[in-house]
Structure 1
Amino acid sequence: MGNSQSTVRILAPLSFAYDFAAQQYGMFSSPNMLDIHDKNLAAFSPQPFFIAGFFFPQQIFQLVWLYKLWKRQGNVQELEMMDKFAWVYSLGNFCIGTWMFFWNANDLKTSNFFVVVNTVAQLLYITTVLPPLDTRSTPNFLTHIVAKTFAGIGVLDFLHNTSAAYYKNVPPSQLVQIATGVGFAAAAGASDWIFGGCLVYDLVALSMGQQGGWSRLLGGYAAMAAGVVGLRNWFYPRKLQKESAYERVAGDEGQM
């Protein structure tokens, strides 16, 4: 157990540094990330500056989370939670960092392999391993933020890279348009406000990166997803809280 803790304390920051350095290479090399993006436009190409807008605050949360992981700040359960995620987090950083080199080499089919591995790993973690959210626990809350934003941007990366690699300049068919709406609606209906917010952001980024009717449809999907996330995480929980309060009152009336 001790060796595992020592390993992730080194591996996680190392993976962050690797990914960060690769991103700098991707932005300042020639051709750069944006050049490759513009050469391979597809039906799921987002507005590229939305990626940068997501990237900056996510880095801040990652650095705070890494600090707590390194300093071992938390109780036993919190530290165990961070240690488990650190393995998936490190895998994701190494995948996305390596993705950058193939993306900038315009080898999009190979780069897509690393995107798929990262996205699947992050989604599996948040749906099968991640403990429930506890906003009273800073390590728990930070782990949820980092894990779910990693998965959320991973969904956008998957759609973008796959479409650019295999369907360059191919407009979305009616089936793809319907499947996109159904898929995002279903995902939003099963998401909390963190991951759900990422899905809405993904759709807005895609809408701003497209044109015409497809852009407007994606914007409508973003509004729909926001409504679904809001209903699931705001209105419906409040209704349950009220029903629970009524049940307690009714139960108390029968007691003397």
Structure 2
Amino acid sequence: MGIEQSTAKWLAPASFAYNFAVQQYALNSTPSMKQVNDANTSFWSPQPYFIGGFFAPQQIVQLAWLYRVWKLDANSPKERAEILSYVPYYVLGNICIGSWAFFWNAEKLQISNLFVVVNSLSQLYFIFTKLGPMNTSSTSSILTHINAKTFAGIGVLDFLHNLSVAYYKDALPSTAIKAVTGAGFAGLAACSDWIFGGCLVYDLVALSVGQATLNNPDWSKMLGGFAVMTAGIVGLRNYFIPPYVKEPGYNLAEDDDTFDDRV
């Protein structure tokens, strides 16, 4: 899935503007995004303000990354390859989440869930199969990794939240749900760097606080325990297997179009 810079420099900002505008509409319409959230809860419902708290700084990162898309250097093929490889997934994500808001506010939750599934799975696919290790000597590489991994990280929370309210409204967690939650986060943590791993911990804290608000104290405490477990796994994984590289010669000659594709 490739794209030219001439297309990317317009398409990526346009998708950002679409998603941002629709989110503002959904927040301020009647019923609002939060009103729909409060009327539809389940065992994977987070505290909604955690999503808003994530959204604001994420927009700043996206704007910084979009600036790099515009300013790509023709003499930096690795930089171009890494940034442009993410643009199609970034555009798809913005379109999906922007479109999700229309159906969410209309309380057509099963339809809105489809957009979340596409976004979440595509973002996870990209960071685990297409994105090479982050080069700490490159601002563009750092921004691409933060942008992609925060998109995927909040996508995990979106996936759980929307799935539960679309099909299991007002349900309490079964033993199977508890086991799947713990095993799923442990599995993701075992192959996560600090950025995505930090997002997973944030997701679990959001779920824990949300369930406490819904008067599910035992489930809330278990989710808090999963957050500690996930943080421990991420820490150990990254201590023993450092996830990043440092390549001062990132801006290579124009005829060198190699790209490190390690997972």
TM over 0.5: yes
Measure the CA separation in 1 of the matches of 2:185 and 2:3. Answer: 41
Give the letter aligned to residue 49 of structure 1: Y
Quote the residue 2:68 is aligned against: 68
Give the letter aligned to residue 31 of structure 1: P
Query: Structure 1, residues 55-87: CA drift from partner, whole Å, max 9, x if none?
Result: 011100000000010121581111111111011
Asked whether the 8 Å contact 2:89–2:122 carries over to 1, the reply is yes
Instruction: Say which is worse superposed, 70-79 or 88-97, in terms of deviation.
Output: 70-79
What's the CA shift for 1:131? 1.4
Measure the CA separation in 2 of the matches of 1:36 and 1:198. Answer: 24
Give the letter aligned to residue 120 of structure 2: T
What's the CA shift for 1:4? 2.2
2:143 is the counterpart of 1:142 = yes
Give the letter aligned to residue 168 of structure 2: Y
Greater RCO between the two (CA within 8 Å, min separation 6)? Answer: 2
2:215 is the counterpart of 1:213 = no
Measure the CA separation in 2 of the matches of 1:171 and 1:178. Answer: 14
Quote the residue 1:229 is aligned against: 234
What's the CA shift for 1:23? 0.7
What's the CA shift for 1:236? 5.8
TM-score (norm. length: structure 2): 0.87
Quote the residue 1:96 is aligned against: 97
Measure the CA separation in 2 of the matches of 1:44 and 1:206. Answer: 6
Quote the residue 2:185 is aligned against: 184
Quote the residue 1:25 is aligned against: 25
In terms of fraction of residues, the more helix-rich structure is 1
TM-score (norm. length: structure 1): 0.90
What pairs up with 1:156-175 in 2 under 5 angstroms?
156-175=157-176
Measure the CA separation in 2 of the matches of 1:222 and 1:132. Answer: 25
Asked whether the 8 Å contact 2:3–2:88 carries over to 1, the reply is no
Q: RMSD of the alignment, in Å?
A: 1.6
Which is greater in Rg? Answer: 1
Measure the CA separation in 2 of the matches of 1:128 and 1:3. Answer: 18
Measure the CA separation in 1 of the matches of 2:52 and 2:163. Answer: 20
Measure the CA separation in 1 of the matches of 2:119 and 2:77. Answer: 27
Measure the CA separation in 1 of the matches of 2:139 and 2:68. Answer: 9
Measure the CA separation in 2 of the matches of 1:26 and 1:177. Answer: 31
What's the CA shift for 1:3? 7.7
1:152–1:3 CA distance, 2 compared to 1 (3 A): closer
Instruction: Say which is worse superposed, 3-12 or 174-183, in terms of deviation.
Output: 3-12
Give the letter aligned to residue 9 of structure 2: R
What's the CA shift for 1:8? 1.1
5+ long unaligned stretches in structure 1? 238-256
Asked whether the 8 Å contact 2:5–2:69 carries over to 1, the reply is no
Give the letter aligned to residue 220 of structure 1: G
Asked whether the 8 Å contact 2:16–2:94 carries over to 1, the reply is yes
Quote the residue 1:8 is aligned against: 8
Query: Structure 1, residues 207-250: CA drift from partner, whole Å, max 9, x if none?
Result: 0000310000000000110111111113565xxxxxxxxxxxxx
Give the letter aligned to residue 225 of structure 2: G
SS in 2 for 1:197: helix
Quote the residue 2:259 is aligned against: none
- What is the aligned-residue identity percentage? 59
